[in-house]
């Protein structure tokens, strides 16, 4: 983990725990190659049903396009961008709408409570 305290302890740690509770295989700092550049995705998770999710934690909007490219390079089924508050959530969703053309991977901009709910929604009912 290489983010700050809020990034690592307040957002990343609870997400890792939630994914692991579902039986998902979690990897931190997944390496991607984009146009000759090496990048790292904060977290990837593969659910038992095969769904592969790339998760990026962002404190601002400036890296969203880069996050999308990393998710595509990793072959993710979905990208979740988890942000610390409603202000960054709104700004990030606006930034996502400004990107043209639209991303090749579904992108969900979420606060931590929304992301934790989405993790629990990915658990198949028996």
Domains annotated for the chain, with CATH where assigned, are 5-121 (3.40.1350.10)
Exposure class string for 25-59: b at 16+ Cβ within 10 A, else e = ebeeebebeeeeeebebbbbbbbeeeebbbbbbbe
Instruction: Pick the closest to residue 44 from 21, 69, 27, 56 (CA basis).
Output: 27
- Rounded-to-integer distance, Cα 31 and Cα 20, Å: 20
Q: Kindly report, residue by residue over 8-33, the tens digit of the pLDDT.
A: 566 788 999 888 888 889 988 777 76
Can you give the pLDDT at residue 100? 67
The pTM for the full model equals: 0.85
């Amino acid at each position: 983990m290489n983010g700050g305290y809020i990034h690592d302890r307040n957002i990343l740690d609870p997400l890792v725990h939630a994914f692991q509770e579902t039986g998902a295989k979690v990897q931190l700092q997944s390496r991607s190659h984009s146009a000759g550049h090496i990048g790292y995705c904060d977290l990837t998770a593969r659910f038992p049903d095969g769904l592969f999710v790339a998760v990026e934690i962002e404190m601002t909007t400036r890296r969203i396009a880069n996050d999308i490219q990393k998710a595509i390079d990793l072959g993710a089924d979905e990208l979740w961008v988890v942000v610390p508050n409603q202000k960054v959530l709104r700004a990030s969703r606006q930034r996502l709408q400004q990107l043209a053309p639209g991303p090749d991977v579904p992108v969900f901009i979420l606060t931590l409570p929304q992301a934790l709910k989405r993790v629990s929604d990915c658990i198949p009912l028996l």
